[in-house]
Amino acid sequence: EDKGFTVSFGVAGMSGFLPDGQAAPGMRVGQVTDFLVDRLDARRGTLIVTATPDKVKAAVTRELDDFSFESLQPGMLLRASVSKVLDSGLVLTFLTSLGG
């Protein structure tokens, strides 16, 4: 039997599993955390994820000298700051010089 955490994505019909060895040190049940999708277990219909800090940190998109808005790709992980809250959503600043 696999040992680890069941992960809730907040989406009906979608589940995840975080193996014990892939959890961040000191992780607690109910804690909100960053993680990466490692693979899909098609037999179980479950996403297997990892939350080890070194893997999450390595996955974050870093600022490059020639980075532009057009360089963004679906699935990129960015660190962003909320600069304004609007009735229609949020204004974010990310990669130092980009926002929207």
- Cα–Cα distance, 12 to 16 (Å, whole number): 12
Residue 86 pLDDT > 60, yes or no?
A: yes
pLDDT value at residue 28: 85
For residue 30, give every residue at least 6 positions away whose Cβ sits within 8 Å of its Cβ, in sequence order, or none. none
Q: What is the pLDDT of residues 8-58, one digit of tens each?
A: 877 777 789 999 888 888 888 888 888 888 888 888 888 899 988 888 888
Residues 78-87 have a mean pLDDT of 79
Region of 51 please: left (phi>0), alpha (psi -120 to 50) or beta: alpha
Other beta carbons less than 10 A from residue 47's beta carbon: 18
Q: How far apart are the first and last CA of the chain?
A: 45
pTM: 0.60
